[in-house]
Structure 1
Amino acid sequence: MKIVIIGIGLIGGSFARDLQRAYPEAALLGMDQDPGHLDQALSLGLVRGVATPGDLREADMVLVCIPVGSLARELPGILSQVGEETLVFDAGSTKSLICQAVAGHPARRNFLACHPIAGTEFTGPQAAVEGLFNGKTNIICEVELTAFRIQERALEVFQKLGMRIRYMNPEAHDRHIAYVSHLSHISSFMLGKTVIEKERNERDIFDLAGSGFESTVRLAKSSPAMWTPIFEQNRENVMETLDEYIANLQGFRTLLEQGDFQGVFEAMEQTNRIKDILRGIPTPKN
């Protein structure tokens, strides 16, 4: 089996680690526009060699793990180079524009639009984590446009990696992911920005920041180069979620301004049920 991973960063590198474990005999090759990433991937043993365009046609599987801004632009060209039986899937966290970019492509049947809900705030090949996808949800969009035999091969791969599968249309995916992922990154970035601007003394931040602050701003360590195109592609949904988030912040501020601490308590108590939701436990209805 020949596997080509395009983009050897956190996600591509983590796939590389898990695929080597699942398919130890596979020839796993990498492509990346950053030569330094390729050198690191080789030295870390994430890939066994550097792929050429010719390898795409011979590959059994091609994973495209590049930022969504490049993905929508490059994916049609990648599909034009693969073989008739090659499985191609992506890991982009937006789906509408990416699916539109390959609509009607002669090799559309080879492509499976995916979004594994996994990652960390770190970037680059050195950030690759073995087992990153185990137990994580992988959202698949427009599965009906992928050849059935290629779907089957992809599902076998995802099963070997321990992923759960959820099917959505691209528009629903982008709408939901704006709330549960994109908004949390904006919130983290802006909280970090607020603190940095107010607390000019970095030592004060270091000394006074507790685990709550650290966990809340963790996502602010994420790459702006990766997240700016995500916000651009999902702009309308992100603005809608921001409007609702800002309204909740303003409502909370009003409660404080009015001295309505019973209202403050009730607002937080109502939100406490997120604990049960995240544990997968149904919340009893009153």
Structure 2
Amino acid sequence: MKKLHIIGLGLLGGSFALAAKSKFPEISISGTDASEKNLQDALNLGIIQEAKDQPDADVDIVILATPADTLGDLLLKTLDQVGEETLVFDVGSTKAKLCKLVADHPKRKQYLAAHPIAGTEYSGPKAAFADLLTRKVLIICDLEKTDLQLKEKAYELFDALNIKLRFMDPEEHDRHLAFVSHLSHVSSFMLGKTVLQKMEDEKNIFDMAGSGFASTARLAKSSPAMWAPILTENKDNILSALDGYISNLTAFREKIAANDGAGLSEEMTEINKIREILDLEK
């Protein structure tokens, strides 16, 4: 691994760069960002060594780490630019539309559809850190459509960063992510909004906010510039997830309104089973 180019130098793009530099000390990392401030921060922090609008012809890997609604055009443009020995992968949270878009591109074999399940509620180059991806899951879609030798370049990077790989169909990926990631962010944002609306009348409400509120509302600190495009790109799956969520909220509300303590306890006891699943995932 000699050369890496990153387009989008925020949390994920920056963390990939810092992690790659720590594992491959001699690697040359270039990059660009739509934000001049992000680009300058990335240079100042040593995330990249050189600012370049376009990757060199002999770069090993180009990582696309921009908002979800920009990835389609960017992917096509980048594939048109790169040489035959360059692998391009994105880290976007939606995959089906991208995989369909690039299906007939003459350089389709040079693209790897990837999604690391890693992140924090913070954004920008200053939020990046080298261990963000360590022991995290990275989902790969349509693996068989990527050139074998180019896949080896990705595996070299992923192995060095101690990333765990999982393989999934693009549509399945988007459907599942709508429930376990995208819905969580919608819920957190709306909890934050509800409390902020209450704060307009009762200024001291946050004095009573404990760790439960902080952990539940943590995702409401996430970047709107990143999340608004995700919600529209994966619209159909997220609407389906929201329909189920709203239905469950409505039924739960009805139990509270009816003073159905036994029903509430029974339902929450059933939901407690999620503890076993989450503990297994640790």
Q: Same fold (TM over 0.5)?
A: yes
Which residue identity is paired with 1:237? N
**How far apart are the structure 1 equivalents of 2:127 and 2:3?**
24
Equivalent residue number for residue 217 of structure 1: 217
How far did residue 238 of structure 1 move? Answer: 0.4
Superposition pairs of residues 153-232 of structure 1, within 5 angstroms = 153-200=153-200, 203-232=203-232
> Is the counterpart of residue 22 in structure 1 residue 23 in structure 2?
yes
Instruction: Tell me how many residue pairs correspond in the alignment.
Output: 280
Preserved CA contact (<8 Å) 2:138 2:165:
yes
Equivalent residue number for residue 140 of structure 1: 140
How far did residue 205 of structure 1 move? Answer: 3.4
How far did residue 206 of structure 1 move? Answer: 2.9
Which residue identity is paired with 2:102? V
Equivalent residue number for residue 87 of structure 2: 87
How far did residue 207 of structure 1 move? Answer: 1.2
Identical-pair percentage: 49
Preserved CA contact (<8 Å) 1:56 1:81:
no
How far did residue 202 of structure 1 move? Answer: 7.6
* CA deviation string 1:107-149 (max 9, x = no partner): 1111100000000111110000221111111000011110011
How far did residue 179 of structure 1 move? Answer: 0.3
Equivalent residue number for residue 123 of structure 1: 123
Q: Which moved more, 1:175-184 or 1:72-81?
A: 72-81
**How far apart are the structure 2 equivalents of 1:57 and 1:205?**
57
Q: CA RMSD in A?
A: 1.2
* CA deviation string 1:239-273 (max 9, x = no partner): 11001101111111111112111111111111112
Report the secondary structure of 2:280's partner residue: coil
* CA deviation string 1:171-205 (max 9, x = no partner): 00000000000000000000111111122168523
Report the secondary structure of 1:131's partner residue: coil
Report the secondary structure of 1:28's partner residue: strand
The gaps in structure 2 that reach 5 residues or longer are none
> Is the counterpart of residue 12 in structure 1 residue 29 in structure 2?
no
Compute the TM-score of the two structures, normalised by the length of structure 1. 0.95
Equivalent residue number for residue 236 of structure 2: 236
Equivalent residue number for residue 59 of structure 1: 59
The gaps in structure 1 that reach 5 residues or longer are 282-286
How far did residue 218 of structure 1 move? Answer: 0.6
Equivalent residue number for residue 254 of structure 2: 254
Preserved CA contact (<8 Å) 2:9 2:38:
yes
Equivalent residue number for residue 284 of structure 1: none
Preserved CA contact (<8 Å) 1:92 1:115:
yes
> Is the counterpart of residue 36 in structure 1 residue 30 in structure 2?
no
Report the secondary structure of 2:205's partner residue: helix
**How far apart are the structure 2 equivalents of 1:187 and 1:152?**
39
Report the secondary structure of 1:162's partner residue: coil
Which residue identity is paired with 2:46? G
* CA deviation string 1:140-161 (max 9, x = no partner): 0011110011112212211111
Preserved CA contact (<8 Å) 1:6 1:12:
yes
How far did residue 91 of structure 1 move? Answer: 0.3
Report the secondary structure of 1:57's partner residue: coil
Preserved CA contact (<8 Å) 1:137 1:166:
yes
> Is the counterpart of residue 278 in structure 1 residue 278 in structure 2?
yes
